[in-house]
Structure 1
Amino acid sequence: MNRGLSGGFQHVLDMSEVCGSSADIQLAMTEFRDCILDTGLIHLPVQGERFSWHNCSEGDRSLWKCLDRLIVNEIGQWPCSHYHCLNARTSDHSPLVIRGDTVSHTVSMFRFDNYLTMSSEFTTSVQNIWRHQIAETNMYEVTRKLQL
């Protein structure tokens, strides 16, 4: 099942996600980036305005950041998915709208039938599948191998 995280994480991944003067945010940035990498999460592509938060100040105090984002653990079933960052109207955060595949996807539980282990080819088949490299995140790779 494809699960996603959304919301204001209150941290940026790097300084390209900040426009304006900001306090020292290097430690928080590094921790947030490491968390995303360690968990194998994938950012959905964004279209439209990139900065999703503004401090509502003007002049030298104006600050824009990419604080809101959509992150998923698997994108394989929805490769055309992306989100739009709309203009903020009633908040300092911009609303995010998910767009993409319109095909209905059904979710099924993993099921293993014990009778499969009685086949003389079972162990060899499982070994071959687990040796195969899949160029995706670790979680997607495990999910795909279990499906195979």
Structure 2
Amino acid sequence: MKILYWNCCGVGNPATVREFRQLLVANVPDIVFLCETKINSNRFQRIRSICRMEGCLAVDSVGKSGGFALLWRDGIDVSVQNYSNSHINSLVRLENEDVLRFTGFYGQTASRSRQQAWDILRRVHHKVNEGWIVGGDFNAILNLSEKEGGRSKPKVLMEEFCNILEELKLTDIKPCNGWFTWTNNREGDRLVKERLDRFVASDVILDKFPFLASYVVRQSRSDHEAILIDTKGSKPNRERMGHKAWFRYDTCWAGEQELKDLISCIWEKEESNMLAKMDMTRDKLGPWQFSRFRNLKYKIKGLEKEIIRLMDGRTDD
């Protein structure tokens, strides 16, 4: 089960919709929670259709702020329980008939509204009889390591957030990559970075899904990064062992003369039938791809680490 959360800071323009689609294609989430959509719920049906998500519940924005949406793909059994201007609460039935609760949450910044938002989570907690995952923009940090630049957060607010998680028996799921999820995108001494977006989970979830992992997914159009939680995230994938498993056609192969020669040699053999030629093609292309492109993933990981170092490192010239 994969759940994606993104504070999209407005999803009404075509460029953001395109980025949202790319986000879905790259990560293939089962459930998506969006906040700050800044559009009317009626307009969201078109976005749901464009992004090919089967189910959708959208909450209207208030003027040019707010707005939520919970989407899920075909085959996922989601039952929305309740929602407000701070949350969407749902039950998700898994393939093994187990049920988990997912609550998409948006923490308010004003003192009174923030307390009301915490109270909503308390009311949800009273009804929880299953594993519980909460994900969203909490607009709060747990300690000073989750903020760089700008004025220090008041200690009382950090303690309040810690106490809320302890009261609700929820554990912060630290990401496997990256750290800060929001930036004000300013330069020099005015740059501020904070970890505002996160997933938290109950002990039942942590016990049931020992390979649970969370990831920061870099974005370009929003000042918030997306975050992803995967219940099988760190589980070893034994199915992709061996050269044959590497056979995944890529359009960049079309310009490879070596590949063309390899395929031509196989299909020019008159003594082999079509099925045999297809088997030989697969058997040859797996090792060829492995030897030709195995270094690319290491280069990509190296570049991703450099991006993380720049985004999450100390701010300097």
Q: CA deviation at 1:15?
A: 0.3
Structure 2 residue identity aligned to 1:80: F
The structure with more helix, counted as a fraction of residues: 2
SS at match of 2:208: coil
Q: Which residue does 2:219 correspond to in 1? A: 88
TM-superposed CA distance for 1:32, in Å, is 0.5
The one-letter amino acid paired with 2:155 is Q
3-state secondary structure, aligned to 2:207? coil
Higher relative contact order (CA 8 A, sep 6+): 1
- Structure 1 CA distance for aligned equivalents of residues 199 and 219 of structure 2: 17
Matched with 2:173 is 44
Equivalent residue number for residue 132 of structure 2: 3
Determine if the alignment matches structure 1 residue 70 to structure 2 residue 199: yes
Partner of 2:131, secondary structure, is coil
The size of the alignment, in residue pairs, is 103
* Structure 2: runs of 5 or more not aligned: 1-129, 236-317
> For the structure 1 residues 24 and 84, does the alpha-carbon distance in structure 2 shift closer, same or farther, using more than 3 Å as the test?
closer
Q: 1:28 aligns with which of 138, 157, 162?
A: 157
Find the aligned partners of 2:175 and 2:141 in 1 and give their Cα distance. 15
CA-atom RMSD in angstroms: 1.8
Map Cα deviations across residues 77-104 of structure 1 (whole Å, 9 max, x no partner): 101111111213111110011224289x
Verify the 8 A CA contact 1:45 1:81 in the aligned structure 2.
no
Is the 1:12–1:29 contact (alpha carbons within 8 Å) kept by the matching residues of 2? Answer: yes
Q: TM-score, normalised by structure 1?
A: 0.64
Unaligned runs of 5+ in 1: 104-148
Say whether the 8 Å CA contact 1:42–1:73 is kept in structure 2.
Answer: yes
Aligned-residue identity in percent: 24
TM-score computed with the length of structure 2 as normaliser: 0.31
Q: Which amino acid aligns with 2:156?
A: L
Give the match's secondary structure for 1:36.
helix
SS of 2:157's partner is helix
1:96–1:24 Cα change, 3 Å: closer
Quote how far apart the aligned CAs of 1:24 are: 4.0
